[in-house]
C-alpha cells in the first residue's frame, strides 16, 4: 500500500484522494486549536508559502483526542485557522490519530515512522515529512517548531528520484 492509495475527508465532508499529491513533498500534522503548540500554524503557513512553488504541500488534520483541545466543528476549525493564522493550506476534517479508530493515514505514517515511544501519536502537532515518492522520511515531535524543519524540507525538495 502507498500513501497515494489513501483518501481523507475535507472539512466539508468530501472524499479527497491523496494521489493528488503524487510527486510532492508532504508536511502532514495532527493539529488542535486550543493547544500550547497551536501557534505552529503560523510557521506551517510560512513554510507553505515559501516552498509550495517548489513542490511542498502542507496538510493539517485536526484531532480532538488530547484533552479535548479541538472540540469545535470542522467549520469552526476552518474559521479559526483562517482568521487567527491566515492558513491557506488544507485543513481537513477531524481524525483520530490513536486508539481503536485511527485514521488509515495515521496508521500508515506511524507504521513507517514510529516515534521514540512506539508508533502511537502522543500529542498534537506531531509532524511527518513524506518524500516525493510517498515514503515517510522524518517524524518530528510536537515541540519541534516547523521552522526547524526547513533544512529537511529543502533536502527532500532537491531530491528528484527518491532518497536514501
List all residues 6 or more positions away from 13 whose beta carbon is below 8 Å from its beta carbon: 74, 93
63 is annotated as an active-site residue? no
Q: Are 37 and 139 in contact (CB under 8 A)?
A: no
C-alpha 138 chain-centroid distance: 12
Angle between helices 40-51 and 74-85 (to 10 degrees): 80
* Cell 503548540, residue located: 37
Closest CA to 90 of 29, 143, 150: 29
- Residue among 18, 25, 35, 121 flagged as catalytic: 35
Instruction: Tell me the C-alpha to C-alpha distance, in Å, between residue 84 and each of 77, 112, 152.
Output: 10, 33, 27
Going by DSSP bridges, is the β-strand pair 7-9/15-17 parallel, antiparallel, or unpaired?
antiparallel
Q: Which residues are catalytic?
A: 35
Amino acid at each position: 500500500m502507498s500513501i497515494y492509495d489513501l483518501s481523507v475527508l475535507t472539512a466539508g465532508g468530501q472524499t479527497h484522494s491523496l494521489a493528488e499529491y503524487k510527486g510532492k513533498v508532504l508536511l502532514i500534522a495532527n493539529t488542535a486549536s486550543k493547544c500550547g503548540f497551536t501557534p505552529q500554524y503560523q510557521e506551517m503557513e510560512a513554510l507553505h508559502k515559501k516552498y509550495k512553488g517548489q513542490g511542498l504541500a502542507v496538510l493539517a488534520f485536526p484531532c480532538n483526542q488530547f484533552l479535548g483541545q479541538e472540540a469545535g466543528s470542522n467549520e469552526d476549525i476552518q474559521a479559526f485557522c483562517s482568521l487567527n493564522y491566515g492558513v491557506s493550506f488544507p485543513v481537513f476534517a477531524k481524525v483520530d490519530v490513536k486508539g481503536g479508530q485511527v485514521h488509515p493515514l495515521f496508521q500508515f505514517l506511524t507504521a513507517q515512522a514510529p516515534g521514540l515511544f512506539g508508533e502511537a501519536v502522543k500529542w498534537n502537532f506531531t509532524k511527518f515529512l513524506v518524500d516525493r515518492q510517498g515514503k515517510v522520511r522524518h517524524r518530528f515531535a510536537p515541540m519541534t517548531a516547523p521552522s526547524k524543519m526547513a533544512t529537511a524540507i529543502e533536502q527532500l525538495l532537491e531530491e528528484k528520484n527518491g532518497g536514501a
